[in-house]
Copies of this chain bind each other. A is one copy, B any other.
Amino acid sequence: MLDSPNNPVNNRRIEALLLHREIEEFNNAYAAALDENRLVDWAEMFTDDGFYVVLSRENADRNMPVGLIYCENKGMLLDRANAMKTEMFAPRYLRHIVGNLQVLGEEPNGDIRARANYVVIQVLFDRPDAKMHQVGVYYDKFRRVGDQLKLAERRCVYDNLLVDNALCLPV
Protein backbone atom coordinates (compact mmCIF):
# COMPACT_ATOMS: atom_id res chain seq x y z
CA MET A 1 0.00 0.00 0.00
CA LEU A 2 2.86 2.31 0.87
CA ASP A 3 5.33 1.49 -1.88
CA SER A 4 7.64 4.39 -1.39
CA PRO A 5 7.64 7.60 0.60
CA ASN A 6 8.33 9.39 -2.67
CA ASN A 7 5.12 8.03 -4.13
CA PRO A 8 2.98 11.10 -5.00
CA VAL A 9 -0.34 9.36 -4.14
CA ASN A 10 1.03 8.57 -0.77
CA ASN A 11 2.34 12.07 -0.21
CA ARG A 12 -1.16 13.40 -0.86
CA ARG A 13 -2.52 11.11 1.83
CA ILE A 14 0.14 12.24 4.30
CA GLU A 15 -0.61 15.85 3.43
CA ALA A 16 -4.32 15.23 4.10
CA LEU A 17 -3.38 13.61 7.39
CA LEU A 18 -1.31 16.62 8.45
CA LEU A 19 -4.11 19.04 7.59
CA HIS A 20 -6.64 16.91 9.47
CA ARG A 21 -4.36 16.86 12.51
CA GLU A 22 -3.84 20.63 12.30
CA ILE A 23 -7.59 21.28 12.35
CA GLU A 24 -8.11 18.79 15.17
CA GLU A 25 -5.42 20.60 17.15
CA PHE A 26 -7.16 23.90 16.45
CA ASN A 27 -10.49 22.51 17.68
CA ASN A 28 -8.90 21.19 20.86
CA ALA A 29 -7.21 24.53 21.59
CA TYR A 30 -10.56 26.26 20.88
CA ALA A 31 -12.33 23.96 23.35
CA ALA A 32 -9.63 24.51 25.98
CA ALA A 33 -9.94 28.31 25.62
CA LEU A 34 -13.68 28.12 26.30
CA ASP A 35 -13.41 25.52 29.08
CA GLU A 36 -10.85 27.72 30.83
CA ASN A 37 -12.92 30.84 30.28
CA ARG A 38 -10.25 32.58 28.17
CA LEU A 39 -12.75 34.39 25.95
CA VAL A 40 -10.34 36.88 24.39
CA ASP A 41 -8.15 33.97 23.28
CA TRP A 42 -11.31 32.44 21.85
CA ALA A 43 -12.16 35.59 19.84
CA GLU A 44 -8.59 35.77 18.53
CA MET A 45 -9.04 32.36 16.88
CA PHE A 46 -11.23 34.01 14.22
CA THR A 47 -10.19 36.06 11.17
CA ASP A 48 -10.94 39.80 11.23
CA ASP A 49 -14.11 39.16 9.19
CA GLY A 50 -14.83 35.96 11.12
CA PHE A 51 -18.48 34.93 11.24
CA TYR A 52 -19.84 33.10 14.29
CA VAL A 53 -23.38 31.98 14.90
CA VAL A 54 -25.08 29.55 17.28
CA LEU A 55 -28.41 28.41 15.88
CA SER A 56 -30.89 25.60 16.35
CA ARG A 57 -31.03 22.62 13.99
CA GLU A 58 -34.67 23.54 13.40
CA ASN A 59 -33.73 26.96 12.06
CA ALA A 60 -30.67 25.73 10.19
CA ASP A 61 -32.72 23.06 8.37
CA ARG A 62 -35.17 25.75 7.20
CA ASN A 63 -32.41 28.21 6.20
CA MET A 64 -33.58 30.61 8.88
CA PRO A 65 -30.64 32.66 10.06
CA VAL A 66 -31.62 33.81 13.55
CA GLY A 67 -29.48 32.33 16.29
CA LEU A 68 -28.82 32.65 19.99
CA ILE A 69 -25.47 34.30 19.31
CA TYR A 70 -24.66 36.12 16.10
CA CYS A 71 -21.33 37.84 15.40
CA GLU A 72 -20.30 39.18 12.00
CA ASN A 73 -16.65 40.01 12.66
CA LYS A 74 -13.90 39.87 15.23
CA GLY A 75 -14.96 43.21 16.72
CA MET A 76 -18.32 41.72 17.65
CA LEU A 77 -16.62 38.60 18.99
CA LEU A 78 -14.25 40.64 21.16
CA ASP A 79 -17.16 42.77 22.30
CA ARG A 80 -18.95 39.64 23.44
CA ALA A 81 -15.81 38.28 25.09
CA ASN A 82 -15.34 41.50 27.07
CA ALA A 83 -19.04 41.87 27.89
CA MET A 84 -18.94 38.59 29.79
CA LYS A 85 -16.84 40.26 32.47
CA THR A 86 -19.78 42.44 33.52
CA GLU A 87 -22.72 40.14 32.81
CA MET A 88 -24.44 38.40 35.69
CA PHE A 89 -25.12 34.70 35.48
CA ALA A 90 -24.86 31.63 37.67
CA PRO A 91 -21.25 30.43 37.93
CA ARG A 92 -20.55 27.23 36.05
CA TYR A 93 -17.93 24.91 34.61
CA LEU A 94 -18.02 23.94 30.94
CA ARG A 95 -16.31 21.03 29.23
CA HIS A 96 -16.30 20.56 25.45
CA ILE A 97 -15.92 17.20 23.79
CA VAL A 98 -15.22 17.66 20.08
CA GLY A 99 -15.21 14.60 17.86
CA ASN A 100 -16.02 13.14 14.45
CA LEU A 101 -13.98 15.76 12.57
CA GLN A 102 -14.44 15.64 8.79
CA VAL A 103 -12.36 17.81 6.47
CA LEU A 104 -14.74 18.33 3.55
CA GLY A 105 -12.81 20.22 0.89
CA GLU A 106 -11.73 23.60 -0.31
CA GLU A 107 -13.74 26.67 -1.24
CA PRO A 108 -12.84 28.61 -4.44
CA ASN A 109 -11.07 31.21 -2.24
CA GLY A 110 -8.90 28.58 -0.56
CA ASP A 111 -10.89 28.34 2.70
CA ILE A 112 -11.04 24.80 4.04
CA ARG A 113 -14.50 23.44 4.84
CA ALA A 114 -14.81 21.08 7.80
CA ARG A 115 -17.34 19.83 10.31
CA ALA A 116 -17.16 18.26 13.73
CA ASN A 117 -19.64 17.09 16.36
CA TYR A 118 -19.55 18.72 19.76
CA VAL A 119 -21.02 18.14 23.19
CA VAL A 120 -20.85 20.83 25.86
CA ILE A 121 -21.19 19.47 29.37
CA GLN A 122 -22.08 21.97 32.05
CA VAL A 123 -21.86 21.94 35.82
CA LEU A 124 -23.71 24.69 37.66
CA PHE A 125 -22.10 25.45 40.99
CA ASP A 126 -25.38 25.12 42.87
CA ARG A 127 -26.27 21.74 41.38
CA PRO A 128 -24.30 18.59 41.94
CA ASP A 129 -24.45 16.88 38.60
CA ALA A 130 -22.97 17.36 35.13
CA LYS A 131 -25.54 17.93 32.38
CA MET A 132 -25.40 17.87 28.61
CA HIS A 133 -25.85 21.56 27.97
CA GLN A 134 -25.69 21.49 24.21
CA VAL A 135 -25.01 18.94 21.50
CA GLY A 136 -24.55 19.72 17.84
CA VAL A 137 -22.30 20.26 14.86
CA TYR A 138 -19.68 22.87 14.02
CA TYR A 139 -19.88 23.77 10.31
CA ASP A 140 -16.60 25.57 9.65
CA LYS A 141 -14.49 27.47 7.16
CA PHE A 142 -10.82 27.66 8.10
CA ARG A 143 -8.39 30.16 6.58
CA ARG A 144 -4.61 30.27 6.81
CA VAL A 145 -3.45 33.67 8.12
CA GLY A 146 0.36 33.80 8.20
CA ASP A 147 1.34 30.42 9.58
CA GLN A 148 -1.81 30.01 11.65
CA LEU A 149 -5.24 28.60 11.00
CA LYS A 150 -8.13 30.89 11.85
CA LEU A 151 -11.88 30.48 11.65
CA ALA A 152 -13.40 32.50 8.83
CA GLU A 153 -16.74 30.97 9.78
CA ARG A 154 -18.13 28.73 12.50
CA ARG A 155 -21.81 27.87 12.50
CA CYS A 156 -22.73 25.94 15.66
CA VAL A 157 -25.96 24.08 14.94
CA TYR A 158 -27.40 22.50 18.09
CA ASP A 159 -29.89 19.64 18.33
CA ASN A 160 -31.48 20.19 21.72
CA LEU A 161 -34.71 22.12 21.46
CA LEU A 162 -34.34 24.06 24.66
CA VAL A 163 -31.07 25.26 26.08
CA ASP A 164 -31.00 24.37 29.76
CA ASN A 165 -30.68 27.37 32.06
CA ALA A 166 -29.23 29.91 29.60
CA LEU A 167 -26.59 30.17 26.93
CA CYS A 168 -24.24 32.74 28.42
CA LEU A 169 -20.92 31.60 27.05
CA PRO A 170 -20.06 30.78 23.44
CA VAL A 171 -19.81 27.13 22.43
Contact = CB atoms under 8 A, between A and B. Distances in A.
Interface of A: 1-2, 5-6, 11, 13-15, 17-18, 20-21, 25, 27-29, 31-32, 35, 57, 93, 95-102, 115, 117, 119, 121, 123, 125, 127-132, 134-137, 159-162, 164
Contact of A102 (B6, B32, B57): B32
Nearest to A3: B11
A5 to B, nearest CB: 4
Nearest to A11: B2
Given A121-B119, A161-B123, A18 B11 contact: no
Given A31-B117, A97-B117, A130 B132 contact: yes
State the oligomeric state as a number of copies: 3
A120 to B, nearest CB: 10
Given A17-B17, A97-B100, A129 B164 contact: yes
A159 B139 CA distance: 27
A57 B14 CA distance: 37
A28 B102 contact: yes
A60 B2 CA distance: 37
A160 B130 contact: yes
Contacts of A102: 25, 28-29, 32
Given A99-B97, A100-B28, A121-B119, A161 B17 contact: no
Contact of A135 (B18, B29, B121): B121
B5 A100 contact: no
Nearest to A2: B15
